């Protein structure tokens, strides 16, 4: 028996390849599926099943394409209503895979079709669960994403999740391995561990939601407390996962259309496309196309595109090096952004050589910020999440979280300079690009963000409890 976790850091997502005696199954595959096919071919195995734990909101799964390429059936748990051919399994139904068995455990609560897959080894013993978004390490799936589809409140869904965990998951042997659908960094939970493999026993000891003495009422309260609004693109991804989508090869062909600066400018103006610059933040600061949006490919690229651009049908033009063009298109497609219509051939350097207008973002070091603050009252804006800000921040800095930056436009001063920082410099440059596209140009980015700021003598606040605000 072979189990391989295929973890994608940008999405904090785990897909799984399971193989026994020449037969393989893939659980929650990513959009680009060739890697799974290659693993099976290399090991002379045949992909027999494609299991989906639920209709994912944070990424577009590769189930439809993988099924088309391999002939393997797509399997969902009870209550799933896909608009393509699939096997809707019954609770406790078993699927034989070589010398092992995969058993369906219907675990509704995150969504009503949410299903955990229990792997029984060659001896019929409980070996591992693939828990999707039902159980994470350190957390459980948020119960507020499927309210409309389920015709239930988040409290009702949380109550359903409580029963699923206690009746289907916590009754398994403590040594049962837990392979979750996500880890730290995913928006599908609020307290996930950085670890990506654990056991039932460990979770009973460390996961706040699996406390043995926890009542249903306590569970509902704690699981629903502090949930941030989900990104706007989540429902759109659910629909793609339910209805189907274009093959990734079609998306790549459309997006890999090189354009001269002249054509690029014309297409941008006529199509209403977002010009998305995915270079490093320091390159963007030194020079960029006016009104372009920066979201660097070396950060949490796809989730930030989803959170800030939101409309998966929005036409996108890329400013990207040719060697990373395919990567950018694939990573956009993972969250449903399939409408890349081309890229700037020759990159920003080609744009500059034509003499076209350019823009830049002023930058200073944290030390320079500290020095200036001694003689001036500065307008400092912290674009980290509220929880990060509450933990520690520069005294008198205003919190304008990047997730909702458009709601804070009136907060930025029209006179003087606005000093913007995040934790390390990535999110602040995204914020600056959005602000500049909205006509706010008196911006200064603080290099190194709060990590560098803490090394200076700037006054830092102590923790502020939200309930006292």
Query: To which residue do tokens 């389920």 refer?
Result: 150
Mean pLDDT over residues 369-384, rounded? 96
Complete DSSP assignment for 264-331: HHHHHHHH--EEEE-S-HHHHHH-B-TT-EE--TTSSHHHHHHHHH--TT--EEEE--GGGHHHHHHH
User: Would the pLDDT of 2 be above 50?
Assistant: yes
How many whole angstroms separate alpha carbon 116 and alpha carbon 130? 6
Would the pLDDT of 315 be above 70?
A: yes
pLDDT score, position 462: 72
Class of domain 2-235: alpha beta
**Eight-state DSSP code of residue 166:** I
Measuring CA to CA, how many Å separate 332 from each of 23, 295, 309?
A: 31, 11, 11
Weakest mean pLDDT among 12-26, 275-289, 375-389, 453-467:
453-467
Q: Do residues 64 and 84 lie in contact, with contact meaning Cβ atoms separated by under 8 Å?
A: yes
* Residue-level pLDDT at 467: 44
Query: Cα separations (Å) of 432 from 163, 199, 418?
Result: 45, 43, 10
In the predicted model, is pLDDT for residue 464 greater than 60? no
Query: According to CATH, what is the number of the domain 246-353?
Result: 3.40.250.10
Chain centroid to CA 99: how far? 35
Confidence of residue 15 (pLDDT cuts 50, 70, 90): very high
pLDDT tens by residue, 57-105: 999 999 999 999 999 999 999 999 999 999 999 999 999 999 999 999 9
| Reported confidence tier of residue 463, pLDDT bands at 50, 70, 90 | low
Residue closest to 40 by CA, chosen among 76, 72, 85, 65: 72
d(CA 59, CA 306) in angstroms, rounded, equals 10
CA-closest candidate to residue 453, choices 382, 394, 391: 394
Whether the CB-CB separation of 285 and 361 falls below 8 Å is answered with: yes
Structure tokens at 377: 């009252």
pLDDT at site 150: 85
At residue 268, what are phi and psi to the nearest 5 degrees?
-60, -45
pLDDT exceeds 90 at position 187: no
- Average the pLDDT over 429-448 and give the result: 97
Q: Which two tokens stand for residue 74?
A: 């797509």
Model pLDDT, residue 469: 44
Q: And the tokens for 79? A: 């209550």
The pLDDT of residue 468 is 41
Q: Is 375 exposed, middle or buried (0-12, 13-18, 19+ CB in 10 A)?
A: exposed
What share of the chain has pLDDT > 90, as a percent?
Answer: 92
Collect all residues with Cβ–Cβ distance below 8 Å to 189 and sequence separation of at least 6: 133, 136, 139, 140, 141, 142, 182
The fold of 362-468 is Oxidized Rhodanese; domain 1 (3.40.250)
Does the pLDDT at position 26 exceed 80? yes
Task: Give yes or no on whether 246-353 and 362-468 have one common fold.
Answer: yes
State pLDDT tens for residues 124-166: 999 999 999 999 999 999 999 998 888 999 999 999 999 999 9
- 315 within 8 A of 240, measured Cβ to Cβ: no
Q: Is the pLDDT of residue 226 over 90?
A: no
Distance CA 225, CA 219 (A): 10
Q: How many CB atoms lie within 10 A of CB 281?
A: 26
- Average model confidence (pLDDT) across the chain: 95
Average pLDDT for 277-290: 98
Question: Taking residues 376-385, what's their average pLDDT?
Answer: 96
Return the domain boundaries, the chain. 2-235, 246-353, 362-468
- If one compares 387 and 368, the residue with the highest pLDDT of the two is 368
88 class by beta-carbon count within 10 Å (0-12 exposed, 13-18 middle, 19+ buried): middle
Q: State the first-to-last Cα distance of the chain, in angstroms, to the nearest integer.
A: 54
At 465, the pLDDT band (50, 70, 90 cuts) reads low
Strands across the sheet containing 198-199:
94-97, 100-106, 115-120, 126-132, 177-180, 198-199
CB 334 within 8 A of CB 30: yes
Matching residue, tokens 């690029």: 264
């Amino acid at each position: 028996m072979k189990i391989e976790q295929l973890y994608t850091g940008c999405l904090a997502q785990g897909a799984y390849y399971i193989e026994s005696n020449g037969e393989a199954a893939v659980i929650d595959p990513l959009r680009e599926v060739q890697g799974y096919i290659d693993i099976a071919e290399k090991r002379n195995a045949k992909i027999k099943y494609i299991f989906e734990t639920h209709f994912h909101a944070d990424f577009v799964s590769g189930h439809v394409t993988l099924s088309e390429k391999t002939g393997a059936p797509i399997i969902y748990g009870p209550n799933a209503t896909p608009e393509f051919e699939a096997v809707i399994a019954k609770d406790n139904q078993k699927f034989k895979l070589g010398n092992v068995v995969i058993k369906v455990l219907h675990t509704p609560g995150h969504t009503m079709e949410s299903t955990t897959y229990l792997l029984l080894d060659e001896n019929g013993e409980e070996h591992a669960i693939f828990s999707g978004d039902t159980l994470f390490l350190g957390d459980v799936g948020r119960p507020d994403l499927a309210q409309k589809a389920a015709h239930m409140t988040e409290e009702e869904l949380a109550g359903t999740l409580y029963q699923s965990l206690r009746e289907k998951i916590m009754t398994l042997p403590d040594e049962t391995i837990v392979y979750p659908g996500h880890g730290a960094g995913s928006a599908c939970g609020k307290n996930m561990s950085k670890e990506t493999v654990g056991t039932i026993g460990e979770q009973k000891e460390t996961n706040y939601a699996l406390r043995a003495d926890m009542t249903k009422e306590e569970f509902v309260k704690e699981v629903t407390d502090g949930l941030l609004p989900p990104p706007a693109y989540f429902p759109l991804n659910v629909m793609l996962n339910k209805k189907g989508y274009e093959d990734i090869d079609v998306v790549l062909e459309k997006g890999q259309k090189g354009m001269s600066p002249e054509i690029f400018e014309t297409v941008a103006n006529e199509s209403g496309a977002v010009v998305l610059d995915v270079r490093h933040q320091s390159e963007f600061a030194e020079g960029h196309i006016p009104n372009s949006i920066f979201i660097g490919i070396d950060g949490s690229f796809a989730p930030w595109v989803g959170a800030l651009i939101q409309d998966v049908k929005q036409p996108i033009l890329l400013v990207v090096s040719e060697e990373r063009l395919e990567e950018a298109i694939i990573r956009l497609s993972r969250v449903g952004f399939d409408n890349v219509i081309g890229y700037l051939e020759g990159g920003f350097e080609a744009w500059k050589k034509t003499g076209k207008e350019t823009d830049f973002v002023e930058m200073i070091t944290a030390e320079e910020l500290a020095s200036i603050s001694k003689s001036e009252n500065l307008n400092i804006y912290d674009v980290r999440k509220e929880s990060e800000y509450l933990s520690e921040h520069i005294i008198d800095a205003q919190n304008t979280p990047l997730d909702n930056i458009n709601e804070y436009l009136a907060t930025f001063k029209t006179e003087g300079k606005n000093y913007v920082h995040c934790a390390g410099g990535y999110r602040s440059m995204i914020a600056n690009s959005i602000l500049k596209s909205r006509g706010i140009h008196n911006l200064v980015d603080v290099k190194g963000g709060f990590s560098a700021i803490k090394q200076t003598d700037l006054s830092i606040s102590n923790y502020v409890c939200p309930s006292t605000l």
